[in-house]
Structure 1
Amino acid sequence: MTVESSSTEHSSALAKRRNDVSLNRYSGRFAPSPTGPLHFGSLITAVASYCDAKAHQGLWHVRIEDTDIPRIYPGSEEHILRAIDAFEFEPDSDIIFQKDRLDIYEDVIQQLHKKNMVYACQCTRKMLGSNHIYVGTCRDLALPFHDQAIRVKVSDHDICFQDHLQGQHCSNLKTDLGDFVLKRRDGIINYQLAVVVDDFLQGMTHVVRGADLLNNTERQIWLGQLLDYPRLEYIHLPLAMNDQGQKLSKQNMAQALDLSKPSELLQQALHALKQPAIELDQPHKMLQQAVAQWNLDLIPHRTHLDGVFI
């Protein structure tokens, strides 16, 4: 997607989503963060999001979630792009990079500011201590926005959604979390804001991702409500675990995908998702077969996959 004037793109997209019923077509995405190379857990998410979209005759997009610029690992964005090619995924739009869209997120913060739904916060981590629930210390101080964190106001009521694998999930953001940060003091846009805005601007209808992100969902639903965005459908996949009982992640030193063995790894990912067996072949042919026999109900309805992965 070409980045236009931020306010123009956001406003025109909102009007289009309200008036164009064709945008109800299934649209999903794979949205990795380039804080390290892709690992097997990343592949599971890519395969599941791709197959679920294509099994519903939908669209599949790729987005690089790189707003946290200081945490970008050298070479990881290139590894992601090479992996998309190696596994022969075919995105239905140009790959977008969030770091190219910072003006859009700033514009949305200003929209929330006009609605009196955000405020500047001067609290540091040291000031907050170990309390993970923000008690609204700065909510009524009317601090200037310059060089401060920006928090969004939450309300005291339950937000619930029905996940297609994990069942009903609810949270009261006021009592469970408190007002949360949309923009850090150092100017970094928070993941919660960027993902909500881009899911809307890209026309997403379904989000398929790992169960480690399950607890983010109520925050994202809340932001979507404040911005008058359509509600999305969610599928949170069980996580691949290592031999230490930890989820595969860059932080836990998960091995980078061996891009010289895409067919073997595709077969392993589909097996981990409990999908019907497919023969080794060219990756695009394997994906076609996987889509044809895709069955979401076969994926374990829990937060962790059976077995040990590397």
Structure 2
Amino acid sequence: MKIIIRGEKQPNVTAKDFILKILSLDYVRSGKALAKVMEYAGDAIEALSVDERATMTNMAAEIGGFTGIVAPDDKVVEFLVERRGMKRADAAELIRGLQSDRDAEYAEVIELNAAEIAPMVATPGDPGNGKFIRDLNTPVPVELAYGGTCTAGKNEDMDMYAEVLADALKQGKRVAESVEFYIQFGSQETRKYCMEKGYLDIFQKAGARVIEPSCGACINAGPGVSTRPDQVVVSAQNRNFPGRSGPGQMYLASPLTVAASAVAGYIVEYQPSQAPELAGSRG
């Protein structure tokens, strides 16, 4: 099946919001996407970085798909050259022909407008419980915030956590007193990237705690796992099935939303250049 997203997204909308929107669609929730290959396309997808596209292909599993693909382009060539050390000619040859045929037929074609997608969460129990944050009936206080896993522990995800926390620090704000915020690197490469960018200092000053690369809260292991049934978690991981990451109530969200909510003390949209209003702050 083919999922086409057209148009220009809002600055505070990420690939995670795209995939949470897709997961909330009736076609997906009814199980009709099971065992299908998900091809993501459209100018809104093409505008995403390779790291962001990887969030969507990774979460084809939550859709129930066999796999997820994005037709490789010049951005992929650049990624292979810069991040994997390939020669440009070899990278270009590697991706040659990895596009669908012009006359390819699809079991289903779904089209979405990126401009109509706002920051989202998936409410506790299932990644398909997607809602726009603005449609939550009441404020949702959080005790734990977690950024990491294979969907949200990449270099660009770290850019997002750092952006929000640096924005907060500029306004004299930090992680809320009521929140424990954990950021876990997806790889040693990403940890090194954060060191080189100065993010570790930003994270520390803002009150976030960093965790070494590993499978973590997503598999119910290590910091970021809830310990009580009433404990509310906002997490950038990919799954929030009951018991997946402790007994608590887990909301899935983008890295921007997770960091903004950690600062605010409750689930909020991130507004660039405007640190979220705090429920409290660390001294």
TM-score, length of structure 1 as denominator length: 0.27
Q: Which has the larger radius of gyration?
A: 1
TM-score relative to the length of structure 2? 0.29
